[in-house]
Chain A
Amino acid sequence: MIALAHGLDPAATAWMFVATALVLLMTPALGLFYAGLVRSKNTLNTFMMCLGALGVVTVSFALVGYSLAFSHGNGFVGGLHDVFLRHVSFAPRAGTHIPELLYFTYQAAFCIVTAALVSGAVVERMRYGTFLIFLVVWSIVVYPVLAHWVWGGGWLETRGTLDFAGGVPVEMASGFSAFAAAIVVGARKDYGRQALLPHNAMFVLLGAGLLWFGWFGFNGGSGFGTGRPDVLAFVNTLLAPACTLVVWFVLDLVRDRRVTAVGAATAVIVGCVGITPAAGYVSPLWAMLLGALAALPSYAFILRRARTRLDETLDVLAAHGLAGLFGILFIGFFAQAKWNGVADGLLYGHAAQLGDQALAVLAAPVYAFAVTFAVLRLLGLVMPLRAGEREESVGLDVAEHGEEAYASGEGAILIRPEDGVTPPVAVVPA
Chain B
Amino acid sequence: MKLVIGIVRPERANDVLTALHRAEVRGLSITRVQGHGGELERVETYRGTTVKMSLSEKVRFEVAVSDDFVDTTIDALLEGARTGEVGDGKIFVMPLERAIRIRTGEADVAAVTPVGGS
The A/B interface has a contact count, at CB < 8 Å, of 67
Q: A4 within 8 Å of B by Cβ?
A: no
In whole Å, how far is A356's beta carbon from the nearest beta carbon of chain B? 51
Question: Which interface residue of A412, A424, A425, A430 has the most chain B CB atoms within 10 A?
Answer: A412
Q: Which residue of B lies closest to A408 (CB)?
A: B34
Question: Which interface residue of B9, B11, B37 has the most chain A CB atoms within 10 A?
Answer: B11
From B40, B52, B83, contact of A415 by CB (8 A) = B52
Q: How many B residues face the partner with a CB closer than 8 A?
A: 25
From A398, A403, A408, A412, contact of B52 by CB (8 A) = A412
Task: Report Cα–Cα, A194/B39, bound state, in Å.
Answer: 26
Q: A256 within 8 Å of B by Cβ?
A: no
- A interface, size bucket: 20 to 34
Q: Interface SS of chain A: helix, strand, loop or mixed?
A: loop
- Are A411 and B38 interface neighbours, CB within 8 A? no
Q: Known: A413-B52, A414-B49. Is A407-B44 also a contact (CB below 8 A)? A: yes
Q: A423 within 8 Å of B by Cβ?
A: yes
Across-interface contacts of B55 in A (CB, < 8 A): 410-411
- Are B52 and A421 interface neighbours, CB within 8 A? yes
Q: Chain B 50-79, CB within 8 Å of chain A: the 1/0 string?
A: 111111000000000000000000000000
Task: Report Cα–Cα, A265/B29, bound state, in Å.
Answer: 34
Q: B86 within 8 Å of A by Cβ?
A: yes
Q: B42 within 8 Å of A by Cβ?
A: yes
In whole Å, how far is A150's beta carbon from the nearest beta carbon of chain B? 43
Q: A393 within 8 Å of B by Cβ?
A: yes
B residues at A contact (CB < 8 Å): 9, 11, 14, 34, 36-46, 49-55, 83, 85-86
Task: Given A398-B42, A430-B38, output 12 extra A-B contacts at Cβ < 8 Å.
Answer: A393-B9, A402-B45, A404-B44, A407-B46, A410-B55, A411-B53, A412-B51, A413-B53, A414-B50, A425-B52, A427-B39, A429-B37
A residues at B contact (CB < 8 Å): 194, 390, 393-394, 398, 402-404, 407-408, 410-415, 421-430
Q: What are 21 A-B pairs at a CB distance below 8 A?
A: A194-B14, A393-B11, A394-B11, A398-B42, A407-B44, A411-B34, A411-B36, A412-B44, A412-B54, A413-B51, A414-B51, A415-B50, A415-B51, A421-B43, A423-B42, A423-B43, A425-B40, A425-B41, A426-B40, A427-B39, A429-B37
